[in-house]
Amino acid sequence: MHIDWWTLGLQTVNALILIWLLARFLFRPVARMVAERQQAAASLMNDAAAAKAEAGAAQAQAAAEMARLAQQRGQILEAAAAEAAALKASLESAAHADADRLRAAAQAEIDAMRRDAAQSDAARASQLALDIAARLLDRLFDHLPPQARVAGFIDGLAAALANLPDATRAQLDNGGDGLRLVAARALSGDELASCRAALAQVLGREVVLEASVDPAIIAGLELEAPHAIVRNSFRDDLAHLKTELLGHDTHPA
């Protein structure tokens, strides 16, 4: 077998040139394209992983926010329930207080009405009793001598006058108009003179008396002046008795 080394060498050179050309114009661009594709794919994978991680973080943050909102909602509901319970308790307490106050006011009004009615009844009963007593006394004195309505009351009137303060007694007739002496009937001259003498002895000076009649006195004498009134009569006694009766009925023991 004969081997043509020149032909073999040329074919080898041609093969090397072809390999060089393929490596330069085909393999390298293809490898570069493959590397670029791999790099792009890796970048896409990284971006996808980052996006996935970001989405996971966002989902976790959303879940945490939802949990926080749920907790806050629960706290708000609990606070609202507590406030509603407190408001209900306050309204119930205020309603009870108002009811108690109204009940107390109504009871006080009822008690006041009862007291007023009792006082009115007591006043009517006392006035009726005093009217009856006045009529009985008047009838009694109708059966006594006329001087009984006056004579026994002169000294008592003088004593009541003596009990007045000195300044009041000094001003009794300063106006010069005299004093008004009221009796249950017209006074005789002797009775008027006795009254004038008894009063002058107390005052230490003569007085001018103007006699007048008021049957409501029943019996006794009343001395009226601009600055004072001195009474010694059954009318005055009955008035004091009425005050005592009403006071006793109003403030029972």
The pTM assigned to this predicted structure is 0.50
pLDDT at position 70: 81
C-alpha–C-alpha distance, residues 91 and 75, integer Å: 24
Mean pLDDT of the chain: 80
Q: Which residue has the higher pLDDT, 81 or 23?
A: 81
* Rounded CA Rg of the chain: 65
Domain boundaries, the chain: 1-115, 144-250
Predicted pLDDT at 2: 64
Residue 194's CB: how many other CB atoms inside 10 A? 16
Q: What is the pLDDT of residues 204-248, one digit of tens each?
A: 888 888 899 999 898 889 998 887 889 998 888 888 888 887 776
| Of 127-131, 175-179, 214-218, 244-248, highest mean pLDDT | 214-218
Please give the share of the chain, as a percent, with pLDDT higher than 90.
15
Per-residue pLDDT at 161 exceeds 60: yes
Residue 26 in this model has a pLDDT that exceeds 80: no
Any residues with CB less than 8 A from the CB of 164 and at least 6 apart, and which?
A: 228, 230
CATH topology classification for 144-250: hypothetical protein PF0899 fold (3.30.2320)
Q: Is the pLDDT of residue 251 over 80?
A: no
